[in-house]
Amino acid sequence: EFRHVFRAGRIGSLHIPHRIVMGAMHLGLETREDGGAALAAFYAERARGGAGLMITGGAAVSVAGAGGRGYGVLGDVAFRDRLRRVVTTVHDAGGLIALQLFHAGRYASPTAFGVSPVAPSAVHSRFSGSTPQALTAAQIRATVADFARAAALGRELGFDAVEIMGSEGYLVDQFLSPLTNLRDDEWGGDARRRRRFGVEVTRAAREATGADFPIVVRFTGLDLMAGGTPHADVLDFARSLVAAGADALNVGVGWHESPVPSVQAIVPPGAWISVAAAVKAAVGSTPVIASNRVNRVGHAEDILATSGLDFVSMARPFLADPELITRSRRRRPVNVCIGCNQACIDRSLVDGEVSCMVNPRAGRELTALPARSARQLRLAVIGGGPAGLQAAHALASAGHRVDLYEAADGLGGQFRLAGRVPGKADYHATIDYFTADLDRLGVRMHVGRPIGAGDVPLLRAFAGLIVASGVRPRRVEIPGADLPHVLTYPQAFAGGALRGRVAIIGGGGIAVDLAHLAARGPERPDEIERFLRTYGLAAGPAPAAAELEVTILHRGPRIGPRLGRSSRWAVLADLRRHGVRIVSGVRFRRITSDGVHIVDAAGADAVVPADTVVIAAGQTADGVVPALARQAGVWHRVVGGARDADGLDAVRAFAEGFAVTADV
Ligand code: SF4
């Protein structure tokens, strides 16, 4: 019954109905000139879905503090009007909402507003690609005053609380860390002076809002930066923030520049709980919120039951399922966030509008209404991969009678394969969610039922067809590709067949996934320990390299070019840590029982020894089912990989599946 989660809590004077806080997410809707309609609709939908306290994406306390063009600046009247609408709409929906006060410091985009980024010291940032100007003492005091004004404004606009954003390497962190604060004045030089900015900001916000207004401070419990803030200083900072007036501390992990992943799928859920627990132990009765990589309410329940922590922040899980809370409360299946970052963080990093791979409606609550269709049609969806599952779900939700046909012996398509890859086990949860929800919606499922030439009369019995029959592995014209030790990638994912030295031909996402699986092996119960040891964050030896010796061979200059910005570096680093060799710019001559004969980038002939060779050189669209649909002469739409295998990605597959209701 999740009794630790569904227990009322308090932050200062604010009563909160349960222990899950919806963490801040920059949505890309903040500057949309619609009077705040889309932004308000986003938050209101989550409030209706049971969210207790929600925290907005960062609202910049000044122009220099904006993270990019898409950030709202509190000095802008139109942005304040949007926020006012958000507050009213959320309160009408029964929710609570806090305004996050944000200053990017050296992470600000230098080109967004034509204002130079500012920071305690002129230390170049890899993340923003710029070198900030060092703030003068007068400018620092003015920045503290900006935070104070912003906090007062939060109260004036009707927000239930404010959260001072001091984590992830933004301005407060930049003052705290010896890496970015090289000053030797009253704002830097030793740990106490480096703490001062965050403390002054908190004190000024408290003075500006009065004693009874709830203030949360989000700060970094572990920055994951070599030479960063020592642990003892972090705990001193936490205590100082409380003394300065913070009602609760929200504990983030990692900077945007950290070489250790903190929110990517390869980080095992729960990996950072000990960081927040250490803060809790340091601050006693002050509420502490744990953040990062908790994606299930059941997991939050375990954390709350065992760690002494007061709240758990979940952000992306509310993109994946706006009804996360009510569904969990009723023990209904939840659409789980799989940590892919592809439609959320990766878009946010380029100032795009955020959505969710597994829930394309996220961020489009105003326009993508779950409308019931006026006509109830009998429709068939052919293919039970991401596009087909989503199409069947959208159509059944709209009131149509849907039959789903899947040729394989289980639903999920490419997601089934991906679910075996380290960090992607939750892909199975997506399949489970859709399977359960399709059942609830009355979709008739025909699994293990291919559609073939004899089925044209069956197809004609439907008013319309959604063809989501997916892709087939691309065949390569390399002599020897038919030898017995040469596998297709689905055969390799099936497991058991890989042995010895493995050469993978291909450089896309599937080749990377497969190398990851081969090098690391499937996920194990001790993933957290294994992850922390791998990155030197826990005592004990790093996990041994895999038994399989893995080489990726590919023609192009850059492996995994379409992997998302936030995950690509982390996965490739993990491959290197596990001894995977990557050979780029090769041409293939032939495959023999010895291995793969190539011409390397320098033009020299070479043999890469291999006991198993896997072809993961892309896919081709299924042409059979679309042809049958045409032959049947029934209205149809082809979606996902069956429509375009070259540009295939799961975000597009789900989005196309979702969009079919508009066409029916
Ligand atoms: Fe989670 Fe991926 Fe959706 Fe982002 S896009 S919310 S990471 S499932």
pLDDT in tens, 171-180: 999 999 999 9
- The yes-or-no answer to whether 9-334 and 486-617 have a common fold is no
CA distance 321 to 27: 15
Ligand 1, atom 1: nearest CA belongs to which residue?
Answer: 337
Task: Kindly state the tokens that stand for 545.
Answer: 């390299």
Predicted pLDDT at 254? 97
Ligand 1 close to Cβ of residue 518 (< 6 A): no
Instruction: Confirm if 199 and 236 have CB atoms less than 8 A apart.
Output: no
Tell me, using a 6 A CB cutoff, whether residue 348 lines ligand 1.
no
Strands (E), 76-147: 96-102, 118-119, 133-134
pLDDT of residue 368: 77
Closest atom of ligand 1 relative to the 265 alpha carbon: 7
Q: Is 43 part of the annotated catalytic residue set?
A: no
Give per-residue pLDDT as tens, 438-457.
Answer: 999 999 999 999 999 999 99
The single residue listed with the structure tokens 């059944």 is 396
Task: Please name the residue whose Cα sits nearest to atom 3 of ligand 1.
Answer: 356
Helix axis angle, 77-92 relative to 37-48, nearest 10°? Answer: 20
Q: Is the pLDDT of residue 287 over 90?
A: yes
How many Å lie between the centroid of ligand 1 and the Cα of residue 292? 13
DSSP label at residue 270:
T
Is the pLDDT assigned to residue 370 strictly greater than 70?
no
Tokens standing for residue 117:
């980024």
Where is average pLDDT lowest: 120-124, 125-129, 609-613? 125-129
Residue 442 near residue 403 (C-beta atoms within 8 A):
no
The CATH-assigned architecture of domain 378-473+621-663 is 3-Layer(aba) Sandwich (3.40)
Regarding the beta carbon of 341 and ligand 1, being less than 6 Å apart is answered yes
Q: What is the pLDDT of residue 261?
A: 94
The DSSP letter of residue 474 is: P
- CATH dotted code for 486-617: 3.50.50.60
From 107, 170, 405, 489, active-site residue:
170
Q: What's the whole-number average pLDDT of the chain?
A: 95
Ranking 392-396, 399-403, 416-420, 539-543 by mean pLDDT, the lowest is 539-543
Atom of ligand 1 nearest to the CA of 344: 4
566 lines ligand 1 (CB under 6 A): no
pLDDT of 371 above 70: no
Tell me how far apart the alpha carbons of residues 377 and 391 are, in angstroms, rounded to a whole number.
14
347 Cβ below 6 A of ligand 1: no
Cα 24 from Cα 296, distance rounded (Å): 17
Pocket test for ligand 1, best of 266, 267, 356, 359 (most atoms within 8 A of CB): 356
How far is the C-alpha of 289 from the C-alpha of 518, rounded, in Å?
Answer: 37
Distance between CA atoms of residues 651 and 514, nearest Å: 20
Q: Which residue has the tokens 């070259």?
A: 646
pLDDT per residue over 192-236, tens digit each? 999 999 999 999 999 999 999 999 999 999 999 999 999 999 999
Cβ–ligand 1 distance for 340 under 6 Å, the answer: yes
Angle at 23 between CA 303 and CA 656, to 5 degrees: 105
Atom of ligand 1 nearest to the CA of 295: 1
Residue whose Cα lies nearest atom 2 of ligand 1: it is 340
pLDDT, residue 545, reads: 62
Over residues 35-46, the pLDDT tens digits come to 999 999 999 999
Ligand 1 center–CA 358 separation, angstroms: 7
Encode pLDDT of 236-255 as tens digits.
Answer: 999 999 999 999 999 999 99
- Going from the Cα of 385 to the center of ligand 1, the distance in angstroms, rounded, reads 17
Q: Which of 25, 27, 293, 357 to mutate to test the pocket of ligand 1 (most atoms within 8 A of CB)?
A: 357
Q: What is the whole-number distance in angstroms between the Cα of residue 318 and the centre of ligand 1?
A: 9
Domain locations in the chain as residue ranges: 9-334, 378-473+621-663, 486-617
CA of 502 to the centre of ligand 1 (A): 31
pLDDT of residue 350: 86
Cβ–ligand 1 distance for 337 under 6 Å, the answer yes
pLDDT band at 111 (very low <50, low <70, confident <90, very high): confident
CB neighbours of 506 closer than 8 A, spacing ≥ 6? 489, 552, 554, 615, 616, 617, 618
Residue 546: the pLDDT is 65
CATH topology of domain 9-334: TIM Barrel (3.20.20)
428 Cβ below 6 A of ligand 1 = no
pLDDT at 327: 96
- The mean per-residue pLDDT over the stretch 21-46 comes to 97
**Nearest CA owner, ligand 1 atom 8:** 337
Are 16 and 96 within 8 A, CB to CB?
Answer: yes
Q: How far is the CA of 337 from the centre of ligand 1 (A)?
A: 5
Amino acid, single-letter form, for residue 377 = L
Q: Are 619 and 643 in contact (CB under 8 A)?
A: no
Q: Look at ligand 1, atom 5, and give the residue with the nearest C-alpha.
A: 356
Is residue 339 lining ligand 1, measured as CB closer than 6 Å?
A: yes
Residue 259 to residue 569: CA distance in whole angstroms: 9
Ligand 1 pocket test: pick from 42, 263, 267, 319 the residue with the most ligand atoms within 8 Å of its Cβ. Answer: 319
